[in-house]
Amino acid sequence: MGHTLTTMFSKQEIELRVQQIAAEINDHYKNSEEVILIGLLRGSAIFLADLSRLLTVPVILDFMATSSYGKTTDGGEVKILKELDEEIHGRDVLIIEDIIDTGNTLNKIKEMLLLRDPKSLAICALLNKTSRREVDVFVNWQGFSIEDKFVVGYGMDYAQLYRNLPYIGIVNFDK
């Protein structure tokens, strides 16, 4: 299927917003010993890298990979493809997500992580697609709230392509 891309957020807009988010996170965790940043693979990798370099609080990077399947009223089952390497009990944890859509997968991950009794658990998402939300998920920090568009770039993909774009684009499919 053919498609074109149009820019939603430029490289400069993203850089500025990531700097603003980092300043807020630095202020929030200024008295913390360390924060474990958990990137949800693969989409969050670029956002996590850029954000983490702007943080002044000591950070530990870790990653989770999940897949969700099934369609039930509770959002289906979330399968863990890559588990955390770090123990999070009694520690400050910040989940880094590229985009929150329905909220089902993120809500399940949050529930799983809370069972491990972290000191705190917060969520930072680059994009928040609230119009598609099926489960209420509180987002502590967000880059941009967006409409229901198919987006790529800055870590997000279409058929594994476009993750490396320095901007966020809207995929416009040919009719």
Asked if the structure places residue 143 within a domain, the reply is: yes
Asked if the structure places residue 100 within a domain, the reply is: yes
- pLDDT tens by residue, 122-151: 999 999 999 989 999 999 999 999 999 999
Asked if the structure places residue 18 within a domain, the reply is: yes
Strands 92-100 and 59-69, sheet pairing:
unpaired
Asked if the structure places residue 156 within a domain, the reply is: no
Q: What is the CATH number of the domain that holds 62?
A: 3.40.50.2020
pLDDT at 19: 98
Rounded Cα gap, residues 98 and 157, in angstroms: 11
Catalytic center residues: 101
Rounded Cα gap, residues 132 and 103, in angstroms: 8
- pLDDT tens by residue, 28-38: 999 999 999 99
Asked if the structure places residue 5 within a domain, the reply is: no
Rounded Cα gap, residues 144 and 14, in angstroms: 9
Q: Which domain holds residue 45?
A: 10-148
Asked if the structure places residue 154 within a domain, the reply is: no
